[in-house]
Amino acid sequence: MSTQAPIRRVTVPQIARRKGGEPIVSLTSYHAHTAAIVDEVADFILVGDSLGMVMHGMESTVGVPLDLMIMHGRAVVRGTKRALIVVDMPFGTYEESPSIAFRNAAKIMKETGCGAVKLEGGKRMAETIRFLTERGIPVMAHIGLTPQSSHVMGGFKTQGRDEESWPMHEEDARAVAEAGAFALVLEGMLEPLARRITDQVAIPTIGIGASAHCDGQILVLEDMLGLNPWTPKFVKVYGQLGDMIKQAVKSYAEEVRDRSFPGEDQVYR
Ligand code: KIV
């Protein structure tokens, strides 16, 4: 019998209770080994459908299939011990009806071992959020710039530039909070609007390009590591890993070509 107590993961109620308290730290991750590094600092890790663009070179998140989310979700759960793992529901797997959303969310939870799902949409998704949470599936909501609707929005556009649109976004936020979402991602939103929403809802808001006036922050890991060929303007790049990879690959290629590759050191023992 093991004498070591298992490390318990951060829970959904623990995240929900952080409203107005210690800021919530989160990052995306799609991969077991990077997730293990992120696990040391993040309260929750999102297996975002941004993986379609970041990992698989897609132009948007619209084409991401459910099986791909499950495969990456499983890898991240395997690589981590501590953080709450949230997996995105991809486009087309939840909008049609609450029961279809339940079937797909349950599949994600059973097959990955994650602790919650995330879906995009405000008021229009409130009924589905209530249906899922009442049946044991914790839901993180996501409003503002919702990439799965980029075709309707005409691209990835900052929301709230027009003050007349604020009541609509505020109504979206209140609707998902009242429906039972435990946290709310605010993406691509002007600061005064993000601040108003954060003040109005009882659940933590998690900003991405939505100012510091949120209860927590999330960034796409590859963006903040300088690993994306295109980094959104609002992202602070904390490490230039893209340049380090280029340099390492160049050094390796040079050593192979000029025969200075360390032969003895590179043998399986
Ligand atoms: O898919 C994703 O990475 C996301 C974050 C941008 C919040 O939804």
**pLDDT tens-digit map of 25-76:** 999 999 999 999 999 999 999 999 999 999 999 999 999 999 999 999 999 9
Is 49 near ligand 1, meaning CB less than 6 Å away?
Answer: yes
Check residue 228 and give its pLDDT.
87
**Average pLDDT of span 163-173:** 97
Atom of ligand 1 nearest to the CA of 48: 1
Domain spans, the chain: 12-238, 240-269
**Average pLDDT of span 143-154:** 91
**Catalytic member of 40, 163, 171, 187:** 187
Atom of ligand 1 nearest to the CA of 218: 7
- Active-site residue flag, 187: yes
CATH number, span 12-238:
3.20.20.60
Instruction: For a ligand 1 pocket test, name from 24, 29, 47, 49 the mutation site with the most ligand atoms within 8 angstroms of its C-beta.
Output: 49
pLDDT at 1 over 60: no
Residue 186 and residue 218 in contact, taking contact as beta carbons nearer than 8 Å: no
Residue 94 and residue 131 in contact, taking contact as beta carbons nearer than 8 Å: no
Is 185 near ligand 1, meaning CB less than 6 Å away?
Answer: yes
pLDDT in tens, 185-207: 999 999 999 999 999 999 999 99
pLDDT in tens, 218-269: 999 999 999 988 888 899 999 999 999 999 999 999 999 999 988 777 787 7
Atom of ligand 1 nearest to the CA of 28: 3
State the chain's mean pLDDT as an integer: 95
